[in-house]
Chains A and B, each alone.
Chain A
Amino acid sequence: MKPGLTNISDNVLGSRFWALFSKEVNQILHNRQLLTQLLLPPTIFLILFGFALTSTFQDLKVGIADYSQSRTSREFIELLSQTDAFVISGYYTNQQRMLADLSTGKLIVGITLPREFARDIARKRTAQVQAVFDAVDANTAKVASSYLSQLVSDYNLRHQNNFQQGRVGSSTANSALRQNQVQLQTSVFYNPGLETAWFIVPGTIGILMTVLGSQTAASLVVREKEAGTIEQLMMTPASSLQVILAKVLPLLIVLTIDALIGLAVSKFAFQMPFRGNFLLLIAISNLYFFVGISIGILIAIYAKSEQQSQLIAFFVNPPLVLLSGALSPIAAIPTFMQWLTYLDPMRYYIEVYRGIVLKGIGLDVLWPQVLILFVFATVLLTLSIRQFEQQLS
């Protein structure tokens, strides 16, 4: 080897930081359990959540009590079974029995067609259809009722058209002649197939990065405290900054690997696109990891034992997750709590993640979020290093 090269390798591999760094890496490598925890659950949970958490409602169970028993009523019922939204789980001759099934949760909605149904339609009177919803799950009930309303209005529209056609006469009749029509064209951006997974997966990645980062960092620091080796470490010439950075760096690497796994899962399991700049995402992700890790270190500093640190993490993480808009839209949170979401760094990371991956936008649009993340990272890291130093004296 050339002397210059030897020098460089000596300077790097012989340095204090390298010693601290390789110690951390070795400790992580020896800790199978930790490694598995860092790499396995993220993959599994990403897949599970991505597939399972669909908010599209399908196969809502409908019960029908058809007292009319006519061709018209069967036509209407046929309409119901044609949509994906509903599935008819039972026909009842008795409304009471249907409602009993509704009350035990076997049905979401019970529809009663009255005896006069066919007659009313034929006489061009307004026929009454009664729908009873199990509204325990307000959300499902709301969706089901809006689906049903839509169905009914479709039915009406079709009948009205027939009716108008009949009145105006066959020669000039044309539905296109109607006045006052607005055609609303909807274009769905970023996620034209309206895949729920595309929303859930980035959110889950954000959650995993935060939870894993903070818990693991807390665990690594507090373990050293608990074992008493921290004292020995503080007697070495290494500075607090070196000690902390040496703990952070291997975690950054592992979390980056996690992020890559996450991207791979999104691509292959959910066919999620990647529309933005890959390197930008990794860079900003690393910036965000600092936030999670710093939170972990701060927790560890205040905890006496591993158990305590993890309990504090449980205190800190759920609010971060719930206020981040990771799994449910921020707009769904009550307004007074929406203000709190601005204090949640994860909110910005998820915005950035979705922005880069789904929208394909870059720093020109995302710079405010990145700036905020940068401030969070700097403040938290500085704080944790300062506290770390203070605590040791």
Chain B
Amino acid sequence: MTQSLSAPPSLARAPEGPVITMRDLRHRYHDHAQEAVAGIDLDIYPGEIFGLIGPDGAGKTTTFQILSSVMPQTSGVVEVFGKPPREMRLQMGYLTQRFSLYQDMSIWENLRYTAGLREVSESDLNSRSERYLQLLDLGRFKERLAGKLSGGMKQKLALCCTLIHNPRILLLDEPTTGVDPVSRREFWDILAQLAGTEGITTVIATPYLDEAERCSRIAFMYDGKIQQCDTVAQVKASLGVQRVEVYMPVNQIEQAEDTIQHSSELRKSISDVQRFGDHLDVLTQEPEQTQSDIQQALEAEQIHVERFAVDTPTLENTFVARLRALKGEKPAGIYPRIYGTEKRTGTAIGAQQLNKIFGKFHAVKSLNLDIKYGEVFGLLGANGAGKTTAIKMLCGLLPVSSGQVMLAGETAQLRSTAVRQSVGYMSQKFTLYDDLTINQNLEFYCGVYGVPRQYRAAKKRWVLEMSDLIGKEKLMTGDLPGGWKQRVAFGASVMHEPKILFLDEPTSGVDALARRQFWRWINTFAQQGMAILITTHYLEEAEQCHRLGFMVAGELVAQGTPRQVKAEQPGQLVEWECDQLQRAANLLKQRLDPWRVSIFGSRLHTVVDDPKMQIPQIETWLQEADIHVQHHREIGFSLEDVFISIVEQARQRGLDVPVD
């Protein structure tokens, strides 16, 4: 049975009845006043890919832990195949958020152990591992230690381990967090295939809402409760609005967003405005009217609208709109400054012929960079492309093998106190001390960067406001959900008003609404003259960077403004809207080069060299396969398309994407 996205609810709810049932499920941790899960009722049916989405701390992980029976619930009923989940453990595969692998064992050893725990026979182990390793493209690395795999490969291996005992239900808790877009797509292709060919029921949580579009149904969790549960199409339709994409010069987007947001005239017809990449998504019931209204309002502000496009809202639009409605709009707050904003000019971060070699492994090859003050530079690349290594060299944490780094005007003494005072750094994980309270962490960073005492209260207040943690400053940092920690860490890294800021995947695991707030601050800081080097796996965010660099296998293969890199892409991008998305994608991947076909949310993107010839060709292929095409259009490249194609092109040139 092939699961399609546009399948109506009646089809998703197969006659067999639910495989997972939850009734008034509640859970409270012993030292917390609030319930983490506050009464969930849910039925999940065979063969579904069921998505659990929600902001940080909504109770998703708790639900998974109860469902997988690794933790008993406080009250309520959970049944899997009509029995308590504890008795059905062999029918389930559970992939935890992190650390589900033994880093010091090889791929094969990890598999053998998980299989052994579940008494998988030797022959089954061999045949299944053969098949899944093949499917996940890990077969070549059987002897490699799990700790030495890239993030994407680790997650694939973890999936492989959860599959080894042939479970009928997969529980996947944020399996793709921190995984690059290419690997993420591969991961989902496999999930879709498993649901399709083996009828496995999947429950998955993800902060990436474009992925969540591929679920058959989703539940939107907030505050331990399910706010909405339906098919993706229904959830999106429930807003009852259309989406108007408004294109304009990138540097004016924020101003335009504020203008639209605060114009009482416009607010009557507009339900929400969200920045998405290089354009604004305006949600409205009357698209035609809104277009002209916006045009007018923005012209008045000297903002030239380049073009409009009307479409249905994305899941991300829906999520952000719902979350805003639930949380209420909060003022952004003002960043308290102690020191003046005298602007520095010239190069903030520079690199010339930078190389890093670990043993035989060439991690960074001849990197050249020139990042000016007031510039946001995005360093993009797959997991293991050398971004983090490059950043560590640029900020002086790692000695270079050869080449030269210039940081804040210094070339020799990168580690001098003066340089470090003017640099802010947020490492990929672990910026904060888990065993200190939030307040103590902030106090520490204030103190260690020498923020005068009379200003500290204001600084800390700003971080708490920004991270939505007012009143929770006494909490232990280790108890915070990952996304929240990231927000505090971001705040902590800029309290001392640095001139240069390094952000290594700051938004990893952060929910869509909070990420938008992050970027508002990043843009504000850049306007005030800060040089910012950032890495991210959310490529729509990266549209907001002034310049971008794409790294593949330690090499900077493309560099330029987002428009430049998009313009440099060969071919034309065509977006398709059709039913049986996964089947369509699989089919086209066989006919075209696989990299030319990728699923974007509920759409299919194809890169073609000759649109006039190839579009009718593709249409024919799809029709022959009984796939109904609702709509297609030629669109500009998004950065994500660019990313996929750059990585693919590099692969074809023989640059092996490294695994460490």
Contact = CB atoms under 8 A, between A and B. Distances in A.
B421 interface: yes
Given A16-B450, A227-B434, A22 B427 contact: no
A22 B439 CA distance: 12
B397 A13 contact: no
Interface in B438-468: 440, 443-450, 452-453
Given A235-B423, A236-B448, A236-B449, A229 B436 contact: no
A264 interface: no
Interface in A85-108: none
A39 interface: no
Contacts of B132: none
Contacts of B632: none
B420 A232 contact: no
A19 B420 contact: no
Contacts of B452: 10, 14
Interface string A213-245: 000000000000001110111111111000000
A49 to B, nearest CB: 32
Interface residues of A, number: 28
Given A14-B453, A231-B427, A235-B425, A22 B435 contact: no
B449 A229 contact: no
Interface string A248-286: 000000000000000000000000000000000000000
A235 B398 CA distance: 11
Contact of B447 (A20, A30, A228, A233): A20
Main SS at interface, chain A: helix
Contacts of A18: 447
Contacts of A234: 397
B23 interface: no
Nearest to A228: B430
A16 B450 CA distance: 6
Contact of B420 (A10, A31, A227, A235): A235
Interface string B608-639: 00000000000000000000000000000000
Nearest to B430: A228
Contacts of B397: 231, 234-235, 392-393
B395 A235 contact: yes
Interface in A298-350: none
Given A237-B417, A237-B449, A228 B427 contact: yes
Nearest to B398: A393
Contacts of B399: 393
B427 A30 contact: no
B432 A229 contact: yes
A229 B430 CA distance: 6
A23 interface: yes
A26 interface: yes
Nearest to B453: A14
A20 B435 CA distance: 14
B423 A23 contact: no
Contact of A23 (B415, B427, B440, B450): B440
A23 B444 CA distance: 6
A236 B420 contact: yes
A27 interface: yes
Contacts of B434: 227
Nearest to A28: B435
Contacts of B415: 393
B429 interface: yes
A27 B443 contact: no
Interface in B404-441: 415, 417-418, 420-421, 423, 425, 427, 429-437, 440
Contacts of A229: 430-433
B190 interface: no
A153 interface: no
A22 B421 contact: no
A259 to B, nearest CB: 26
Contacts of A20: 444, 447-448
A15 interface: yes
Nearest to A392: B397
A15 B434 CA distance: 23
A237 B420 contact: yes
For A10, A19, A232, the residue with the greatest tally of chain B CB atoms inside 10 Å of its CB is A232
29 contacts: A10-B452, A13-B453, A14-B452, A14-B453, A16-B447, A16-B449, A16-B450, A18-B447, A19-B446, A20-B444, A23-B433, A23-B440, A27-B433, A27-B435, A30-B435, A31-B435, A229-B430, A229-B432, A231-B397, A232-B425, A232-B427, A232-B431, A235-B423, A236-B449, A237-B418, A237-B420, A237-B448, A392-B397, A393-B398
Given A13-B453, A235-B420, 6 more contacts: A14-B453, A18-B447, A19-B448, A229-B433, A231-B425, A392-B397
